[in-house]
């Protein structure tokens, strides 16, 4: 859980913004809600010095170590960005304009560790210029940096950003990844979020502790969707057990945005500490989706989603869930986690006598 600069700013951000986000993550309550990483995405490099060491550009005058130190002073963790290619993706002229780590993997890993970074987002970008478009080469490119990070001796989260090519969910962990993008970039609009989110269900089984499918960062609070659509976004990502990386301006959040990003009961679904059980589709007809995921503590999360444009009633049967009946006299409890209110099951639901269950949306 954390914040990343890309969705809001692309490469148009600077040190002041990064420091401000660290301040706001604490003052807003985001840190207490579990958001931990401040990740500096593409746009921070200017090239290499005479000794080949990667260096920041003028937007980061204090240097990258000082910024990591500041983030740490807030009780947070710091993230940084690079690419297995010669350059990154964007740049002022497009097509890649910032420094990548090609042929400097071990050196850059040591540099990032020496600066005190705790997270590396490694974006494919121009890797296609120097690697063949094969699964073998894709894995090799990411594994090279994964091994380099291990050699530093510093614990760093390793985020593979290669857009789901070559079924990365099947080999991302072998390359050292802790999370891997399963899709192209998300956009701040319903059509993008819906298409990406519901496409993740069939590969949810590849999640496991420490290694996660990443359907991209959150757009909550950026203004392109309604509050209901953002709640759907947050609910769906939590049902999937996806990384929760906010991408909005934390300094100017509305109370409604805060209520979505910091709903503790919904976050608890995403961050469930028990053995991970993949999300399952209980039913999916027309514009309706009913998803369920078993949680620890003898609980279930159930998501009821209306993908259509008109209001609708959606139901599910409690006996479609895998109940544990060995709970003595404990009773069934259902809660709407957005309304923070109890839900009553009808007789048609045929609820078993012993089970606790949470409904996420």
Catalytic residue IDs: 123, 185
Contacts of 95 (CB under 8 A, 6+ apart): none
263-341-276-218 Cα dihedral, nearest 10 degrees: -30
- Which residue in 138, 226, 162 sits closest to 189, CA to CA? 226
Q: What are phi and psi of 334, to 5 degrees?
A: -120, 140
Beta bridge partners of 158: 120
CB 84 within 8 A of CB 100: yes
CB 83 within 8 A of CB 126: yes
3 state DSSP class of 231: helix
Contacts of 223 (CB under 8 A, 6+ apart): 188
**Pairing of β 157-161 and β 179-181:** parallel
CB 245 within 8 A of CB 2: yes
Q: How is the beta sheet containing 2-4 ordered, strand by strand?
A: 212-214, 179-181, 157-161, 119-123, 77-82, 37-39, 2-4, 245-246
d(C-alpha 41, C-alpha 8), whole Å: 11
Contacts of 224 (CB under 8 A, 6+ apart): 187, 188, 189
d(C-alpha 230, C-alpha 175), whole Å: 33
């Amino acid at each position: 859980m954390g914040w990343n600069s890309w969705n809001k700013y692309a490469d148009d951000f600077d040190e002041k913004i990064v420091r401000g986000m660290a301040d706001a993550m604490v003052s807003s309550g985001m840190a207490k809600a579990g958001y931990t990483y401040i990740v500096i995405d593409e746009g921070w490099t200017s090239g290499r010095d005479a000794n080949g060491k990667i260096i920041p550009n003028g937007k980061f005058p204090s240097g990258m170590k000082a910024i990591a130190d500041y983030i740490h002073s807030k009780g947070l963790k710091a993230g940084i960005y690079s690419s297995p290619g010669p350059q990154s993706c964007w740049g002022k002229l497009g097509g890649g304009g910032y420094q990548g780590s090609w042929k400097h993997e071990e050196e850059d890993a040591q540099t990032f560790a020496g600066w005190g970074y705790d997270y590396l987002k490694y974006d494919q970008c121009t890797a296609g210029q120097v690697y063949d478009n094969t699964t073998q080469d894709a894995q090799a490119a990411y594994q090279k940096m994964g091994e380099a990070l291990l050699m530093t001796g510093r614990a760093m989260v390793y985020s593979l950003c290669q857009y789901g090519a070559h079924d990365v969910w099947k080999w991302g962990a072998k390359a050292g990844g802790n999370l891997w993008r399963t899709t192209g970039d998300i956009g701040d609009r319903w059509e993008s979020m819906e298409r990406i989110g519901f496409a993740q269900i069939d590969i949810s089984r590849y999640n496991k502790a420490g290694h996660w499918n990443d359907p991209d960062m959150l757009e909550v609070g950026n203004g392109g969707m309604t509050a209901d659509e953002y709640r759907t976004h947050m609910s769906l990502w939590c049902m999937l057990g996806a990384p929760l990386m906010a991408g909005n301006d934390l300094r100017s959040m509305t109370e409604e945005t805060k209520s979505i990003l910091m709903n503790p009961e919904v976050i608890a679904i995403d961050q469930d500490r028990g053995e991970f059980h993949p999300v399952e589709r209980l039913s999916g007809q027309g514009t309706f989706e009913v998803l369920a995921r078993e949680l620890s503590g003898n609980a279930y999360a159930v998501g009821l989603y209306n993908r259509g444009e008109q209001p609708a009633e959606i139901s599910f049967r409690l006996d479609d869930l895998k109940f544990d009946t060995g709970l003595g006299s404990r009773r069934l409890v259902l809660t709407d986690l957005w309304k923070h209110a109890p839900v009553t099951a009808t007789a048609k639901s045929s609820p078993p006598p012993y089970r606790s269950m949470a409904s996420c949306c």
